[in-house]
Amino acid sequence: MVMFKPPHPGSLIAEYLEDNGISLRSLAKQLGVSAASLSKVANGKVSVSPEMAVRLETGLGIAARLWLSMQAAYDLHKVRETTDVSGVPLHPGIVTSLGRDGTA
């Protein structure tokens, strides 16, 4: 099964800048952050912090919870791709309420 790969929320910032003809520097100034900080987020180099999410909510009108949900989905996908859980047994309570294959 092919899983959906969530985009880094910074890609939304980059798309917004391009679509609206706004410079990164201009948006950074509007948000009260350094251009370097915003660039790192927009390029997917760092996560959207709760503080940055609130600034983006105020400046762009996109809810902070959406920025943080996008970041959480991106982070979770990355961890699922790299974390080996093959040795983690299914909790016995789960096995009894579900079939042996983990389905209801």
pLDDT digits (tens, 9 = 90+) for 31-63: 999 999 999 999 999 999 999 999 999 999 999
Q: Hey, which CATH number is domain 10-83, 1.10.260.40, 1.10.760.10, 1.10.3720.10, 1.10.10.60? A: 1.10.260.40
Domain ranges of the chain: 10-83
Asked whether the predicted pLDDT for residue 99 surpasses 70, the reply is no
pLDDT digits (tens, 9 = 90+) for 68-90: 999 999 999 999 999 998 898 88
Structure tokens that stand for 3 in this block: 């899983």
Question: Is residue 31 within 8 Å of 53, Cβ to Cβ?
Answer: no
